Amino acid sequence: MIKITLPDGAVREYPKGSTGTQIAAGISEGLARVAIAIEVNGQTQELYRTVETDASIRIFTWNDTEGKNVFWHSSAHIMAESILEFYPDALLTIGPPIENGFYYDIDFQGKSFTQEDFAKIEKRFLELSKSGETFERKDVTKAHALEVYKDNPYKTELIENLEDGSITFYYSGNFVDLCRGPHVPNSNIIKAMKIMSIAGAYWRGNEKNKMLTRVYGISFPKQKELDEHLQRLEEAKKRDHRKVGKELELFTFSEKVGMGLPLWLPKGARLRETLVEFLKKVQEAYGYQQVVTPHIGNKKLYETSGHWEKYGKDSFQPIETPEEGELFMLKPMNCPHHCEIYASRPRSYRELPLRLAEFGTVYRYEQSGELHGLTRVRGFTQDDAHIFCRPDQVKDEFKKVIDIVLYIFKVLKFEDYVAQISLRDPEKPEKYFGNNEQWVTAENAIIEAAAEKGLKTVTELGEAAFYGPKLDFMVRDAIGRKWQLGTIQVDYQLPNRFELEYTGPDNQPHRPVMIHRAPFGSLERFVAVLIEHTAGDFPLWLTPEQVTVLPLGEKFEEYAHKVAASLRVAGIRAGVDDRGETVGKKIRDAEVAKMPFMLIVGEKEAESGSVSVRRRKEGDIGTMTNDEFIAFIRNEVEKELA
RNA sequence: GCCGAUGUAGCUCAGCUGGCCAGAGCAGCUGAUUUGUAAUCAGCUGGUCGGGGGUUCGAAUCCCUCCAUCGGCUCCA
């Protein structure tokens, strides 16, 4: 007998050589029915494989990420099998599962594979999956593997890099593929499948290599789940910030101005300003000081900072002054400027931490194919700040920045987030700048700060920047998509390069530590995420226009304007819809434009100095005096920001 | 930058396999209507069919090229 430890710590005994299926069945029949794979001592494997020694195990189902990965990986095999039936000469390369489905990169060798092929591949896929294929694992020698794939340079390359003795093939139906596995017990659990799209992808992601055709697909255990998935995609399309931004007249692009350079329309600019004011106020409370620096900087500045060397090719190229021939760059980063502000006079340890904040607009040359709405642009504004502090202050400063980020998330209702702690790759210390002691201090400061703030974290080794470790916030929006927002990074490189110093209590010069942080990241990207998170239905405090006053006919326009003016004096963003349209039409337009409040004013209201309040999506909520309404809406805003 | 798709009025879209003056709805303008909680009525304006080149008696429709957008690849200080 062997001892099997379950995830909850329970230990059960099974006969030596039990299969994963038998172990699952021992836990419950229901689990055995939905089991997809088993993890044995950290290794995921097929359910039909046997367990020979004591082990701790987990059973994976469709509800686990690992289970989905196995499910989709097997689906990729079946899709490849289907495709090969129609394109026998196609060369397979790799076909992994991804976050939403799977893909297979295929060299069609000059033949074209188009959207017209999707339907027949899907049909064949379902026939094959229904036929109940099993995935049989076979160990093969390297020599054999190379022989089988002698006509496929991609697989040959993969095999070359594998260790002899660790190479496995998987046989399913008439299909065989070089594959590490594992796979589902039987293809018949895959009940629904759709090819989503095709796209070009370089072999091994290197643009010097041949471009392959990447076929994206997704599959599910139930047709209903596929339908729901497609519906979610529809919903995402409806929330697309490019579409909503156009509908709500927030921003636009112009070919004449240039691709990737957003133009903020009045309503978008209003929204953006509100966000800026909001964050400025929060930052002031936390002891930040605003600074302003120019949009261009001498190329030497970026040579000093190291950005020219490392990112010069991703910047707009320097502009030369006509007389002196000096080179200036559109600034790709604010930090060098801020370093110079720090260095503008001698600094004492007493004035640290020094927190310099700027809504700094930067310009970066993104490749044309990279541009995407507001999320990937060539000119954008960072909610940047640099904290210059003593090494022993790093942890406290981190905690304060975390507080700011969490407050923003709370106010904007990003309720589902994790913090990613990015540390050094311990195997490659030479990749990083700064001495070991500094790294250990900074990494521990981040880990402790996150722990003390009770953050849900994941730790990634090797994801740190070369100049320091960082903490990034990933949020899930209202429809479950992940976005990376705020970032906090420790930097040892810049203070050195700029030779920044402060005089310590010992009257000796010391080097400060620098923390880069941007809770929004960039305003452009943040607004895009916010649009998609809220579907354009912004919270009252943030929405570009809060109130529209609707006069019942010409006679009451004067009163309507008076009401709107008094609201504006009270700091409420209000306007009047005095078009010669019916009230019904104006209400409809306001509802469509996501106007939170509509004030209908006619004879009754004009006489009594009141307004009839209609709240978006709710309808008529009764009559109030002007002052009552002002108090009411202020209270609503306060509740949101509390 | 690369692969693929798309590009018709301000917006959303129709215009099939090349052939009468290129259409609709919304928006805009003009006029009438002066409205009580999600679309009042009528009329009008508006398009080098992304730009350029070519094939053809004839091109929005076919071909080439450039530009932009979309989906990916790569990268992201």
How many structural domains does chain A have?
5
Within this chain, do residues A594 and A530 fall inside the same structural domain, yes or no?
no
- Using N-to-C axis directions, what is the helix angle for A394-411 and A266-285, rounded to 10°? 140
* pLDDT at residue A416, as a whole number: 87
Residue appearing with tokens 């299969």: A19
Q: Per-residue confidence at A88, pLDDT binned at 50, 70, 90?
A: confident
* pLDDT at residue A207, as a whole number: 73
Most confident of the following: A20-29, A136-145, A398-407: A398-407
Extended strands (E) in A390-520: 416-423, 457-461, 470-476, 482-491, 502-503, 509-510, 513-518
Note every long-range contact of A152-157, with CB atoms under 8 Å and residues 24 or more positions apart, other chains counting: A152/A91, A152/A92, A153/A91, A154/A91, A154/A92, A154/A93, A154/A94, A154/A107, A154/A203, A155/A91, A155/A92, A155/A93
Does residue A584 reach within 7 angstroms of strand B, measured from its CB?
A: yes
The ipTM, to two decimals, is 0.87
* pLDDT at residue A289, as a whole number: 96
- Classify residue A204 as left (phi > 0), alpha (psi -120 to 50) or beta: left
Residue A204 has pLDDT above 90, yes or no: no
Classify residue A26: in a domain, yes or no: yes
The model carries a pTM of 0.86
Which of residues 338 to 357 on A have a Cβ less than 7 angstroms from any strand B atom?
A: none
Q: A498 versus A258: which is more confidently predicted?
A: A498
Q: How far is the CA of A552 from the C1' of B32 (A)?
A: 18
Q: Per-residue confidence at A315, pLDDT binned at 50, 70, 90?
A: confident
Annotated catalytic, A393? no
Q: What is the mean pLDDT of chain A?
A: 89
Residue A196 has pLDDT above 90, yes or no: no
**Residue closest to sugar C1' of B40 by CA:** A582
A509-529 mean pLDDT: 93
Within this chain, do residues A315 and A215 fall inside the same structural domain, yes or no?
no
Instruction: Report the nucleotide nearest the CA of residue A587, measured to C1'.
Output: B38
- Classify residue A505 as left (phi > 0), alpha (psi -120 to 50) or beta: alpha
Residue A446: CB partners within 8 Å, gap ≥ 6? Answer: A395, A398, A421, A469, A470, A471, A488, A490
CB A135 within 8 A of CB A46: yes
Q: What is the pLDDT of residues A387-435, one digit of tens each?
A: 999 989 999 999 999 999 999 999 999 988 989 999 888 777 777 877 8
Q: Per-residue confidence at A501, pLDDT binned at 50, 70, 90?
A: very high
Within this chain, do residues A564 and A450 fall inside the same structural domain, yes or no?
no
Within this chain, do residues A286 and A317 fall inside the same structural domain, yes or no?
no
Residue A144: CB partners within 8 Å, gap ≥ 6? Answer: none
Within this chain, do residues A289 and A302 fall inside the same structural domain, yes or no?
no
Nucleotides of B under 7 A from a protein CB: 1-5, 11-12, 32-40, 67-77
Give yes or no for a cis peptide into A182 (omega within 30° of 0): yes
Within this chain, do residues A120 and A221 fall inside the same structural domain, yes or no?
yes
Instruction: Report the nucleotide nearest the CA of residue A615, measured to C1'.
Output: B37
Q: What is the pLDDT of residues A238-292, one digit of tens each?
A: 888 988 998 899 998 887 788 888 989 999 999 999 999 999 999 999 999 999 9
How many other C-beta atoms can be found within 10 angstroms of the C-beta atom of residue A280? 15
Range of the domain at A304: 298-328
Check which CATH number belongs to the domain holding A578 and give it: 3.40.50.800
Within this chain, do residues A359 and A389 fall inside the same structural domain, yes or no?
yes
* pLDDT at residue A429, as a whole number: 74
A357-371, A508-522, A568-582: least confident range:
A357-371
Classify residue A40: in a domain, yes or no: yes
Within this chain, do residues A427 and A315 fall inside the same structural domain, yes or no?
no
Classify residue A264: in a domain, yes or no: no
